[in-house]
Amino acid sequence: MPYQHTRSLRMVLLDTIHGFYLQALARLPSGDLRSRLHRSLLRGGYCYGPMDDPASNIILNTIWYEANFAAEITPALDLIGPKSLTRLVSRSFYGLVSFLQTRYHNLSEHQVVQCLVGTCGQLRAADPNFCAPGDEKAKQHRWCSDIPIITEMEKRIPSAGIQEAYEAAATAAWHPNPEQQAAFLTSWEGDRHSMGSKFSLEEVQQLCSVLSPNQPPIPERICSSSYHVKVGKMRSQAQQMRLSRKVQAALNKHLLRDGIET
């Protein structure tokens, strides 16, 4: 039975994380998302980080990756496919779990997932020792102190520091640059409040300039001449067209009422 309970909690947490990605996608400018940010989102836009809510962590990680590891050429996409989004959600899940298990070695997967479900996937709330002693931010998360597992964690000394836990999370999430991401998230001294409003193109560019290194990064080259890359590109383009037609048909259906366009 414990396995079945863990599996049920895991599905609840995955559904919650999926909702965070929908929130983040709604906040990013659609034009920038289709033209270039989709790549950075899929490669490094995970929901763990120093921000107050996971959706803001997704945005922060996405824009940081775009500012530091931009591609030489990024193909435009009409939408992000459901399989890609599901894979991204799963990687964020592994990152969250690895973060807490690195910090608290004696916690089982069931305890970690239970903790994350109880705090809606917010690391700053799930880890009672995330904030430094005396930090005003720590007081804002006392609402979760009545969760038994978190009450137990408050009495323990973490087995690893925040940066080591971030690196473990990035490695588990298959981040292309786990050490760099861990160093960035640990050193973040900007505003930790929720990025709740819709981003404009200018605001994305401004945040990119803040997060970019002192020297312009060398764009990542993508080998597009191999057979497997060409086949994968053709398969991806076919899927994009198929999904775009389905979305457009659904939108057209809901735009019509009794045969009259509304």
CA distance 233 to 236: 5
From the list 138, 109, 142, the residue with the least C-alpha distance to 6 is 109
| Structure-token pair, residue 65 | 């990756």
pLDDT at 198 over 60: yes
3-class secondary structure, 207? helix
* CA dist., res. 229 & res. 72, Å (int): 16
Q: Which amino acid is at 185?
A: L
pLDDT value of position 1: 42
More confident residue, 52 or 87: 87
Q: Is the pLDDT of residue 18 over 90?
A: yes
Say if residues 97 and 90 touch (Cβ distance below 8 Å): no
Nearest to 110 by CA among 210, 10, 181: 10
Distance CA 46, CA 174 (A): 10
Higher pLDDT, 190 or 113: 113
The answer to whether 165 touches 126, Cβ cutoff 8 Å, is no
Residue 21 binned pLDDT confidence (cut-offs 50, 70, 90): very high
Check: CB of residue 137 under 8 Å from CB of residue 16.
no
More confident position, 156 or 115: 115
Using CA atoms, how far residue 72 sits from 40, 124, 138, 177, in Å, is 13, 35, 41, 17
Q: Which amino acid is at 255?
A: L
Distance CA 133, CA 115 (A): 21
Classified as helix, coil or strand, 257 is strand
pLDDT in tens, 153-185: 877 889 999 999 999 999 999 999 999 999 999
Tell me how far apart the alpha carbons of residues 23 and 56 are, in angstroms, rounded to a whole number: 9
Residue 30 clears pLDDT 90, i.e. is over it: no
Reported as type and span, the H/E element at residue 261 is strand 260-261
- Matching residue, tokens 């900007």: 190
Mean pLDDT of the chain: 81
Q: What is the reported pLDDT for 191? A: 76
Question: Does 219 or 33 have the greater pLDDT score?
Answer: 33
pLDDT tens column, 98-110: 999 999 998 889 9
| Residue 258 confidence (pLDDT) | 47
| Range from 73-77, 87-91, 118-122, 222-226 that averages highest in pLDDT | 87-91
